[in-house]
Structure 1
Amino acid sequence: HKNPQDDLKHFGLGMYISRIFCEKHGGNLKIYNARQGGAHVEALFKAE
């Protein structure tokens, strides 16, 4: 989700790094559109 008033440039590395982190720890990252706009992100890990 990009805020039109946000003057900072984003390179998409945050989601990539988060996905790699989750996968390295046996989890995964789910990203989908939120009902009210924007994105919904879930980091899922197995509990032992």
Structure 2
Amino acid sequence: MNAEGETAKKIRIAVAACETVVHANRIKLLSAKPGNILLIPKVAPKE
């Protein structure tokens, strides 16, 4: 159980980090060029 708990925790941290990076990239794209809104879905990972 302990090992599974640690793995689940690491996965949650990795997912949260990935979401933070994607969110930051969206903000960068939006602030840099408003015309990039259509490109954002291609940048974001599909889950």
Which bracket does the TM-score occupy, shorter chain normalised? Answer: 0.3 to 0.5
Instruction: Report which of the two has the higher share of helix.
Output: 2
Task: Output the TM-score relative to the length of structure 2.
Answer: 0.41
Instruction: Report which of the two has the higher share of strand.
Output: 1
Larger radius of gyration: 2
Choose between structure 1 and 2 for higher RCO, CA contacts under 8 A separated by at least 6 residues: 1
